[in-house]
Structure 1
Amino acid sequence: MNEQEFAELAAGAALDALSPDDQQRYHAALAAHPEWQGIADEDADSVAFLAEGTPPAAPSPDIRAALLARIAVTPQAGDATVTDTVPDVVPETETPSASDADTGAVTPSTEAAAAAPKAPAHRLRILFALAACLALLVGVGAGAVAINSYVNRPASVVALEDIQAAGDAQQASVPVEGGGTATAHWSASLGKSVLVTDGIPELSEGETYELWYVRGETPVSAGVFAADDGEATAVLAGDMQVGDVIAVTIEQDGGSPSGLPTTDPVVAIPTA
């Protein structure tokens, strides 16, 4: 076995893709040529790096199917061939005679050698590279999902994170009439506030929750929101001012048509 053939087997061993016979050949070659240990170590380190560097994620069925389809139709061409099916030395009893050589006669041994199938060159090396590409695709896909999720966060979530990161961030919680709680988060330096609800009542069809900044005696509409299973994270529109009361009323769908509350607040949280 030459070094190139061993490299083929080393790639397969790193991927745990060797047959029992190839496993024996691999270990026998490694015992006979300890100087080839570096080849085996390099392939094993590459596989370990791919395993550690790629977060656990299931590859898309489309990616896997496309890759396997490409493998099936891609010619595996190369210079080196696997010839372990053909004897390296022709037995003396089968050595062609001088007359055979002169006449071009084909002996059984040469006939077998010519007919022996040649394995595609570098097959295991190609599989090794394909496995690395597939791992990279999985990693890139998972990273893209994470980046997309981060970039496309709702505005209310972004505002809440900004408030919580501010040096003057404050919050207060109150019970909601009918059940559940409401927590207001605000930052006077940012002029932002967010209301987070948990377990508040579902409204009837045609109704909505409306947010308000109440400044002294003047209510200022700050948008509407709906609660999904009693939960919501809603950013208040407009600039918050120190001393505002963050309030919520129940209004008709779309909000109060007059721009003033038509019901008593179900939530009222002072910010001063």
Structure 2
Amino acid sequence: MLHVLIADDEPPARKRLRRLLKPMEDAGRLTVAAEAGDGVDTLERLREQPIDLLFLDIRMPGLDGFEVLERLEPTRRPIVVFTTAYDDYAVRAFEANAIDYLLKPVSRARLEDAVGRAERLHRTPTARPDTDERLAQLLDWVEAQQQQARPAETAPPEYLRQLSIPVRDRILVVPVERVVSAEIQDGITRVYVLDEDMPGGKAHLRPHVVNYTLDQLEANLSPQDFMRVHRSALVRLEHIRELIAWFSGRYKLAMTGGHEVIASRERSRQLKERLLL
């Protein structure tokens, strides 16, 4: 029996999918274990209980469907069927990578086919590595498309030399050299900053919540010094202390102060080129 999670920010869409799944649930083929209304909630549900099949909406607030999968450890990823109301570039990507998807409004026949394929895949674990690899290729493709969509610079930009960070009733002015990384978690951007003059010269990091988005920080910090290593993480290159092999061709970056950041597979390749590895 498949344990199913329905992730969609639209209650009517979740209700319709659950209604279409009801005959299969009554037949003992699956059980709808949970529902989620946004990307953060989806990630929490996936981490707190075993899920075999995930119906995942692409466009959700907080984290979109692709970001949910990037944040989730590959070993914890269930079988994924994407759902989308948009017949756009994502659908072409699904077809090119043989990834299952459903166009809204979901039809009973198409849903039956998707569940049947998931059942066969669930019964044949040896087929999962191939499916996981196709999913990893899809995430790489999406990330590459986003990079290409960014507008080209027409004039040499002026980059920030320091960040102004509000801390309670004061504003902390931080030289960018002390910024180790900037990351977004649950819709909140945090900048990890090295404390000055720690006893014994030991590096210590302090996270600060800022009002910048990662896109704003990336656009205003020098690309010679900073690199986006994930859609949710930006790091200062000189603070990388070690690259540790991770899942699916990715690297875990050991940073100054003991902080760790996971790079996506595509950015891991780019990072190796930047570091001449």
Determine if the TM-score, normalized by the shorter chain, exceeds 0.5.
Answer: no
Higher relative contact order (CA closer than 8 Å, sequence separation 6+): 1
TM-score between both structures, scaled by the size of structure 2: 0.22
Structure with higher Rg: it is 1
TM-score between both structures, scaled by the size of structure 1: 0.22
